[in-house]
């Protein structure tokens, strides 16, 4: 009888240790998945921004995957309303050596930041040309 109780006690102790271990691993993996999701969202911003109707070139029924310079300028004035979409990021376009910030939301404190750049299409109405410019996205990680 005593042996059986001892065996059961040892079994449950080991089981509890294993469960605690699994819960820890599970919590860590959920946290990792959350980070990966945020990272994927951050990478996809480059594509997503170019596709936004607020920024892309359009004329009546014609649309193309290219950022309109004047739309980008206008968007930068109202982009503070897009915090839910862009979060803690800074999105800018480098046009002919000058940087045009189209969205900026920098937290007062952050632990780390990630910076990515990508070439994008920009239609500049000033000289009526399609150009290849650099888009920079900075993600402030809290």
Cβ proximity of 80 and 95 under 8 Å: no
6 versus 101: smaller Cβ distance to another protein: 6
Strand pairing class (62-68; 56-59): antiparallel
CA distances from 80 to 14, 121, 136 (A): 53, 23, 18
Q: In this complex, which beta carbon is closest to another protein, that of residue 67 or of residue 75?
A: 67
**List of residues contacting another protein (CB under 8 A):** 3-4, 6-7, 10-11, 14-15, 18, 21-22, 25, 29, 32-33, 36, 39-40, 43-44, 46-47, 50, 64-66, 94, 116-123, 128-134
Q: Minimum distance from CB of 118 to another protein (Å)?
A: 5
Q: Which is nearer to another protein, 66 or 138 (CB)?
A: 66
Q: What's the closest the beta carbon of residue 119 comes to another protein, in angstroms?
A: 4
* Nearest CA-CA partner of 67 in 103, 41, 31: 103
Tell me how far apart the alpha carbons of residues 72 and 83 are, in angstroms, rounded to a whole number.
16
**Residue 14 Cβ, how far from another protein at the closest point, in Å?**
5
């Amino acid at each position: 009888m005593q042996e059986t109780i001892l065996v059961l006690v040892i079994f449950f102790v080991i089981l509890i240790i294993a469960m605690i271990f699994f819960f820890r691993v599970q919590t860590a993996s959920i946290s990792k998945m959350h980070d990966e999701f945020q990272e994927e969202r951050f990478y996809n911003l480059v594509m997503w921004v170019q596709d936004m109707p607020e920024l892309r070139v359009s004329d009546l029924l014609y649309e193309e995957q290219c950022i309109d310079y004047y739309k980008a300028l206008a968007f930068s004035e109202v982009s503070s309303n897009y915090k839910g979409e862009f979060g803690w990021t800074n999105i800018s376009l480098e046009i002919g050596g000058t940087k045009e910030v189209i969205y900026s939301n920098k937290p007062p404190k952050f632990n780390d930041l990630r910076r990515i750049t990508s070439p994008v299409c920009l239609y500049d109405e000033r000289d009526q040309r399609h150009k290849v410019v650099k888009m920079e996205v900075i993600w402030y990680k809290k």
